[in-house]
Structure 1
Amino acid sequence: MTTLALPGYAQLSAADEAALTELYRRGTPANTLRAWERDLAYIAAWKMAAFGQPLAWPEDETVALRFVLDHAQELTDRPGAAQDVAMELIAIGLRRDLACPAPATLDRRIASWQAFHRMRNLVSPFSRPLVSQARQKARRANAKPRVPKSPKPVTRDVLEALIATCDATHRGLRDRAMLMLAFASGGRRRSEVTALNVEDIGRDEFVARGLVWIRLLQTKTTKKDQAPRLPLKGRAARAVVHWLEVTGLTEGPLFRPVSTADRLLSRRLAPDALRIILRHRLKLAGLPEDFASPHGLRSGFLTQAALDGAPLAAAMQLSLHRSAVQAQKYYADVEIGENPATDLLGE
């Protein structure tokens, strides 16, 4: 079947394509862009190793199908072209081993590939029936038990132990405010916490109601034009306001590095800073450093909400989960443990 070429007047100019690409990039979160770029590097290297050719736009259906098949099988004891390509990717540091990648990893790389097609206003080959069917079969064949993003949730009792290690130094006050804000405002992601500015903290109602409003300019599920405002109450609100009062910050990054001399620096914390801070506080609290990851604050918020009997819809208003199915998993883990049917044989 031949494909009709569009006349020149119906095609985007090079300047229009560049403008479209720039618009797409500016409307996409920085973390997502970084993930796309890593995936694109992997995909480009894979195609060069498999076909000896650079990526094409739009990509051929045969290439897309081969990509799915190469990443839907265990290659350790399966010599052949797919294993040779995988070994080449391992040699240049883009692949760890010959094990079959998790379905989620394959899905993410394909999603990145599709995103670059959309950025160019092109149809992705992954929407073709044969490729879609291969993806579905690969996903079912390689399905694995769900592994939580954090070993354990940081529930209220764990958070209290972490907060107890925070003293009155700048570092201690910052860590207390960060941890309490991340948990109490709905289980914020680490990038959301470090991206906050002083201007995003509304204190107009703090004196009268003990209430602080947090503006999230951009999250994984919302964009800048949506900018949700979330309430922060009680001890968490007081910790954030105390941090601002002690430091005297009036603009710029809310949470910043602290020198070894306990001097507040002017730059923003790195996106991964919350992970380092959490590991440090876990160690000081007498817990293993790998007890929980930053996602444990998010899962801990939902788990604690379930333990306290808060309605799922109310918790989701703060966590900003788009999928009730995803958020419900934390509630289900709590509810099944309290199910009276588990006590049929008594103590």
Structure 2
Amino acid sequence: MEKADRYLSAGTRANTRRSYRAAIEHFEVAWGGYLPTTGDGIVRYLAEYADKHAISTLKQRLAALAQWHVTQGFPDPTKTPTVRQLLKGIRVVHPAQAKQAAPLLLRHLEQAVAWLENEADAAWQRGDHKTLMRHRRSIALVLIGFWRGFRGDELARLDIGNTQAQAGEGISFYLPYSKGDRQHEGATFRTPALKTLCPVNAYINWITVAGLTQGPVFRRIDRWGNLSVEAINSHSLVPMLRRIFKDAGLPDDLYSSHSMRRGFATWAAGNGWDIKSLMNYVGWKDIKSALRYVDPTTSFGGLALKPALNAALQPAVLGQA
């Protein structure tokens, strides 16, 4: 059974296993519930935390409780009509707008990369290899993250052995699995070489200066300039990116790792990509997932008022009311 348990465990992502364990612990310890439970028990549990947690958190805990009951051979108490009615009522009483990361604007990407390039050149001239590595890594991170629309965990899992790059041609990344790849079939993601803000050149420059030939693409660099053999933690990307943007003179609290993905989707939509092409390129299976990342204001093109002009007209419009 040990061998079977290994494969059964591999069938569920580590993050999912951790979150499910935390949900079960919350039900039993924090709330004081008993397992197995009934539909009425689930209703009381949800009602207790309806005004304390987001609906997405409650649904995640329901999924964990459902899995526990099914795997233990008990009826699933989360699928009763009363539970479904209660969830609907929570949405009505506690409506919540889904939070989305701001899309990274192309002009902000250009500004950040220009600053990083200048700093990298200065570090090279003074022989500061540690700083040179940091900036080359940052350039590769933001350009690959933007033009490929990768999530933070996907950037952290990129491997040199699964990456093929050719200057002036393009780059391809193979990921054994991703969030949308439920069957773990793996997928290859390709991006062409670009005239400016090129992710191919950024990748080649980074692995060259770091002397990397195998292992994770993006790694931690300690304060002494030592390069780790392990990949960066995906949770460290947000503070890393915000530090980059702040140093480049950009609003550091505006963007997160998802901003690069949403920024590319917004750029693509504004440049005439249809939704099917965008889904195929980024790897979305569900059209709702794709539409969450597209800023609809880009569809107005040249007809949209510029922010400054809109602000100037607002007092006049209000005065006419």
Q: Which TM-score band applies after superposition, normalised by the shorter structure? A: 0.7 to 0.9
CA 1:330–1:268 in structure 2 vs 1: closer, same or farther (change >3 Å)?
A: closer
> Matches of residues 286-325 of structure 1 in structure 2 within 5 Å?
286-325=249-288
CA displacement 1:238-267 (0-9 Å, x = unmatched):
211222222232221111111323332322
Greater per-residue strand proportion: 2
CA displacement 1:25-79 (0-9 Å, x = unmatched):
211222222322332222222341xx5xxx413x22221111122223x4xxxxx
The equivalent residue for 1:197 is 159
Residues 302 and 331, structure 1, Cα contact 8 Å, conserved in 2? yes
The one-letter code of the counterpart of 2:88 is: Q
Question: Residue 67 of structure 1 is aligned with which of 40, 45, 51?
Answer: 45
Residues 157 and 216, structure 2, Cα contact 8 Å, conserved in 1? yes
How far apart in 2 are the matches of 1:123 and 1:162?
Answer: 54
> Matches of residues 53-132 of structure 1 in structure 2 within 5 Å?
55-57=34-36, 59-72=37-50, 74=51, 100-132=52-84
The one-letter code of the counterpart of 1:188 is: F
Residues 217 and 224, structure 1, Cα contact 8 Å, conserved in 2? no
What is the aligned length? Answer: 291
> Matches of residues 87-236 of structure 1 in structure 2 within 5 Å?
100-148=52-100, 150=101, 152-166=102-116, 167-168=119-120, 169-185=132-148, 187-203=149-165, 206=166, 210-223=169-182, 225-234=184-193, 235-236=198-199
CA 1:157–1:272 in structure 2 vs 1: closer, same or farther (change >3 Å)?
A: same
> Matches of residues 253-264 of structure 1 in structure 2 within 5 Å?
253-264=216-227
Question: Residue 239 of structure 1 is aligned with which of 202, 215, 220?
Answer: 202
The one-letter code of the counterpart of 2:164 is: G
Residues 196 and 254, structure 1, Cα contact 8 Å, conserved in 2? yes
Residues 256 and 265, structure 1, Cα contact 8 Å, conserved in 2? yes
The equivalent residue for 2:26 is 42
CA displacement 1:97-145 (0-9 Å, x = unmatched):
xxx3222221122122223334445432011222222222222322222
How far apart in 1 are the matches of 2:3 and 2:77?
Answer: 24
Residues 198 and 250, structure 1, Cα contact 8 Å, conserved in 2? yes
Cα offset, 1:289, TM superposition: 2.2
CA 1:337–1:195 in structure 2 vs 1: closer, same or farther (change >3 Å)?
A: same
> Matches of residues 259-298 of structure 1 in structure 2 within 5 Å?
259-298=222-261
How far apart in 1 are the matches of 2:138 and 2:180?
Answer: 26
Structure 2 gaps of 5+ residues are 121-131, 314-321
How far apart in 2 are the matches of 1:21 and 1:123?
Answer: 23
Give the structure-2-normalised TM-score.
Answer: 0.81
**Pairwise CA RMSD of aligned residues?**
2.7
How far apart in 2 are the matches of 1:256 and 1:111?
Answer: 34
The equivalent residue for 1:29 is 13
CA 1:36–1:134 in structure 2 vs 1: closer, same or farther (change >3 Å)?
A: same
CA 1:330–1:247 in structure 2 vs 1: closer, same or farther (change >3 Å)?
A: closer
